[in-house]
Each structure stands twice: as structure tokens, then as C-alpha cells.
Structure 1
């Protein structure tokens, strides 16, 4: 029978291998903060202001300022929120970020956020002539900055070529976040061995909720509450991952942060949740379901 997905064999979630919950908690909450470099002299990857003259200006001062405001004011706010609650965080960082925003990079390094690869700039690998060279440079620069080679990867805009997973696996990447096909990790096929796909977020992503669907902050709280309530109501409540995908210029503004903190606290108060980083999810899954059996 042909498989339409060349990377992940199709499987009903109800027929997947049974898993033991992480530390006895069936809902793993994964906080992810994206720290990205949007080049000043290029069109912005996303905008909050429409151009009134029908062309994308370069430089785009308004939309560039939107993003930089998030880095200047939003990152310290997020760091404080997570530190006060002693929460683990995964950081998807453009490898050029420490060069352009060294104080911001030092702040999150001091907070011990787990680092994952996120290319050099906020630009899809589809637009790079030599993606292997970009991946090499990304991993080398992040390792030089942090002292550790990243185990995980998220493509800017989830962008991949037909060869990206093969290249990433050949460079030692163990898990990626681009394929959002299930609530638990899935093994992927590559030419260089198996690669683990970790659950990420689309409809729970702050970009989708606020920048694309234009909801109020209350919708953010409601989606997370409804999701975990439904997970808990399902028969036998199998372990699941719920990801909070965050961008400082989106979530970390004053009129959303209060509701965001309420969302965090709601999840913290539950007796069926545990906060984790990407490597913990990967190690938990691999221990129970290795690629050879998966």
C-alpha cells in the first residue's frame, strides 16, 4: 500500500504503542520561545502593518520596530515570568542572534533555556541555494555560543526542501519540530537513519491565534483550557504533548501577558501536567519506543 507521507508512515493515534506517562503526568507542556533575526535590509517575513502604497518597503521601519519591540521589552518579561515559576523553556534561536542581540542572548543563556537550531536568519531554507552550508554554519555557531551542539531543529516558517531531514540527520540532529502530525512523537525516515518528529503547534501557536486569526487574549486561555480538559476526558488518557509556541513580539505585549500568565498558572495547578523541554520529550519517547521498534 503506498504511503502519501514520504517521511512518517501513517498510523491511527488509537493504534500507536502504549506509553508510560512522563513522571506519572499524562500531559507534557512544552514552552518554546522563538528568538529570530529579521534582517533590516530585506522584506519582513511577517507584518502587522499593511503597506498603504502597494509595495513592501525596504527598510520596513514599522514592521521591523514591531519585532524589535518584542526583543527589547518582551524577552525580559517572559524571562521573569518563567523564572518566577521555575519553568523549563526551549529556545529556538537564529544562529546570528547572539551577534545582533548579545545582551538578549546572554539573558536567556543565563536562564538556562535549552537551545535548538533555527537556521541563521528568519528565512526559509527553501530560499537558500546551499541549505547544507546554512545548516552547518547554524549548528557550528550555536555550539560556539552555548558550548553544546543542538539536538533539535525547527525550520523558519516550517520550511523544508525534499532533502532537509536527510541533511539534518547527517549533521547529528536527533529531533525536529516541523511535522505536526500527532500529539506524541513519531519516527521519521531519512537516508541517514531515523529522525524523531516532536509535536509542535499550529492552532495553539501565538502567531496563528493573534496575527492570523486576530483573536483576543481570552481565546488563548480558552484554547489551552479546552485542549487539556479534552485530553483528560479521553479514555485511558494516553500521554500527550501540548506546545506553547511563543514569539516575543506577539505574546509578550502588555495587553496579552496577563492572560498568558493565567494560562500558565492554570496549567501549573493541574495534577495531570508536567513542564518539559524538547530533549526530555525525545528521551522519554526513545526510552520506550526506539526507532528499531517504532
Structure 2
């Protein structure tokens, strides 16, 4: 079976009528990604090209670009989210619990939902033993957070033909890698159903700022445009919107005010249900059981 056969086509306009908690129109979930980049390895992405085109290790400037987020940017984003009492999903490399315990503890104490995001930042298809890496991430997060993660976002959204099966085998119920719809979708595995939670490559600060190199306010503007349309469509049927942020991107001084303005815009609408990954997954399964 081809991997795509596991996610059969569904037209959005044909999806059954779903009702969000409180009769809201739009579920919004905020994903704060915290990662570990090893200075001895090639960087997952770069802000500076290597001098004279010659790759170098250690890549101090690009490692430091990300490290700034863990030391400074994260704390701005944490304050922006907690000041507004916004439920937040923390997509976390498992080893961040060991390498950056101050960050992980602050998120845990804030009540963020811990979502598995690999053990270290790197593509799933490059792992020597993907199953062991998933189990290690799940076990490390469970020990630190006091409960195992129910949701998962693969680093870079990368998967192999085996990833979904291995995730479900390790207790993962909800996965964010499949950016295919504005509503969740169930996928069968030999170990039970795993459900997609609508994620994003468009309302993602990495894409807007690190890849498309847009102005500091453009992430906010794009998210508001996306929000407005989905909020309108929510009059007819529920919609789900993801907003994905990274400490080293929208946690920097010249962008943080735009993130704050975006959050204020979202919470200023009565028809919004602010949820976490697992809350969205649980809601969807409950609704489909009633459909």
C-alpha cells in the first residue's frame, strides 16, 4: 500500500457537520517549537551562508542564531502566551528536557501540552533506528512532564513509510505532519487509529521569515488573513487553524510585538476555541463517534 493510500481523498465541502465546544466557529492551536541543535553537527537550517561557500564545523553563527531563541526568545514568547492565558502545545525535542531543563520546566509549569518532536532536531528518514528514537523521545518527555505525550510533530514534518506505525506503537494518538486539510482525519495503523491534527506550513514563522524572508510584520498579517477566512467559513462548519512559532524567529525583539498583536487579535473574537493538539484530536473523535 502506498503511503498516500492511507489518507484517502476527502473534499472539505463533503465533511460531516462538526460542532466545536461552546458552539465556536474556529479552533486555534498555538505550537511553540523548542529544539536542540548540536553544534558539532550540520545545522538544520541557516541564516548565514558559509563564508566563500565553504561549509564549516562547528558552525558557530548559525548555531548561535538558534541558541539565542532558547536563551532569550523563548522567554518573550512564554510571557506573551501566559499573560493571555492561551493554551499552548509545546513541540519539544525529547533531549531538550535534559539539555535545556530551565526551558522545559517553565513550559511544564505553565501547563503547556508536551508534543513529541523527535529526540534531537533532524529528519526522521536519516535516523539509524527510527523506532528507538521515537521511544526515547516519548520516554524522556514522559519522565520529565509526568505523563507521556499523546501528540507528535516530526522534525521538519519528515516521515518514512513506517513512521505512523511506530508512533502509534509508542502511544501517539495525534500527528501534525499531514498538512492536508482544515479538519482532522483518521489514519489506520496495525496498532490502532492515529489522527491528523491540521498543522501548517503557511502560518509558520519559519516559512514566512527564515525561508521567504518577509518583513517583520508579515507573519502577523498572513495569520490574520488566514484567520479571517477560516473564521468566516466556520459559520458553515468547524475549522481548525494552526499557528506555529519558534523562539529564534518570532521571539526576537523586532518581531515579538507582532506576535503579541496577533495573539490579541485572535483572542478578541468570541467564536474562537483555543485548544491544544490533544484537545482537538479528542474533540474530533468524539464528534465523529456521534456523526
TM over 0.5: yes
Question: Counterpart of 1:46?
Answer: 45
For residues 19 and 33 of structure 1, what CA distance do their matches in structure 2 show?
27
CA shift digits 1:107-146 (9 cap, x unpaired): 1111111001111100111011110111111111111111
Offset, 1:235: 7.9
CA shift digits 1:233-287 (9 cap, x unpaired): 3384311111111110011011111111111101111122121111110111010
CA gap 1:4/1:41 in 2 versus in 1, 3 angstroms: closer
SS in 1 for 2:77: helix
CA RMSD of aligned residues (A): 1.7
Question: Counterpart of 1:69?
Answer: 68
Question: Counterpart of 1:213?
Answer: 212
Question: Counterpart of 2:98?
Answer: 99
Unaligned runs of 5+ in 1: none
Question: Counterpart of 1:234?
Answer: 233
Question: Counterpart of 1:90?
Answer: 89
CA gap 1:12/1:86 in 2 versus in 1, 3 angstroms: same
Offset, 1:4: 7.8
| Preserved CA contact (<8 Å) 1:231 1:237 | no
Question: Counterpart of 1:18?
Answer: 17
SS in 2 for 1:289: helix
How high is the TM-score relative to the length of structure 2? 0.96
Question: Counterpart of 1:9?
Answer: 8
For residues 100 and 174 of structure 1, what CA distance do their matches in structure 2 show?
26
For residues 2 and 67 of structure 2, what CA distance do their matches in structure 1 show?
43
Offset, 1:227: 1.6
Question: Counterpart of 1:245?
Answer: 244
CA gap 1:200/1:277 in 2 versus in 1, 3 angstroms: same
SS in 2 for 1:76: helix
Question: Counterpart of 1:174?
Answer: 173
| Preserved CA contact (<8 Å) 1:98 1:145 | yes
Unaligned runs of 5+ in 2: none
| Preserved CA contact (<8 Å) 1:3 1:9 | no
| Preserved CA contact (<8 Å) 1:33 1:92 | yes
For residues 275 and 150 of structure 1, what CA distance do their matches in structure 2 show?
19
CA gap 1:9/1:156 in 2 versus in 1, 3 angstroms: same
Question: Counterpart of 2:198?
Answer: 199
Q: Which runs of 4+ in 1 moved over 6 A?
A: none
Report whether the alignment pairs 1:289 with 2:288.
yes
For residues 120 and 220 of structure 1, what CA distance do their matches in structure 2 show?
28
Report whether the alignment pairs 1:165 with 2:158.
no
Offset, 1:3: 8.2
| Preserved CA contact (<8 Å) 2:97 2:140 | no
For residues 40 and 26 of structure 1, what CA distance do their matches in structure 2 show?
44
Offset, 1:106: 1.4
| Preserved CA contact (<8 Å) 1:209 1:215 | yes
Question: Counterpart of 1:78?
Answer: 77
CA gap 1:232/1:90 in 2 versus in 1, 3 angstroms: closer
Offset, 1:231: 2.2
CA gap 1:110/1:234 in 2 versus in 1, 3 angstroms: closer
| Preserved CA contact (<8 Å) 1:19 1:288 | yes
For residues 126 and 160 of structure 2, what CA distance do their matches in structure 1 show?
9
SS in 1 for 2:103: helix
Greater alpha carbon shift after TM alignment, 162-171 vs 229-238: 229-238
For residues 42 and 12 of structure 1, what CA distance do their matches in structure 2 show?
42
Question: Counterpart of 2:147?
Answer: 148
Matches within 5 A, 1:246-285: 246-285=245-284
